[in-house]
Amino acid sequence: MACIRLKENCEFNGESTYRHVSAHLPKYARPHFIRIKTAVELTATFKYRKVQLVEEGFDPAVIKDRLYFLDNKENLYVQMTQDIYNSVKKHYIKL
């Protein structure tokens, strides 16, 4: 998973993000999930807070941020849904 913050007045585009990721990263390094945060939280030593993100995982019922899933069949990042989450958990969709 990648957690990113968008520039002001920018919208996430799943198709162009997929093209960019595909062009610059090998398959094993492409994030299957992209989480959009309004602000990236830092620790007192200016490191990114990752523990809470790891604990929350990729369950759309838990996460209130926008979350996208890498759909290799459609060649784009799609909005994460409970159906996609259930399919991943039941291994119908392999990561």
pLDDT in tens, 25-79: 999 999 999 999 887 777 777 777 777 777 788 888 888 889 999 998 999 999 9
| Cα 2-82-89 angle, rounded to 5 deg | 75
Residue at 86 is within a domain: yes
Residue at 58 is within a domain: yes
Residue at 25 is within a domain: yes
The pTM score is 0.83
The CA-atom distances, in angstroms, between 25 and each of 15, 53, 71, 89 are 15, 23, 16, 25
Count of CB atoms within 10 A of residue 46's CB?
6
Residue at 95 is within a domain: no
pLDDT at 3: 87
Residue 30 in tokens: 């492409």
- Total structural domains in the chain? 1
The CA-atom distances, in angstroms, between 41 and each of 5, 12, 60 are 11, 20, 20
For residue 12, give its domain range: 2-90
Residue at 53 is within a domain: yes
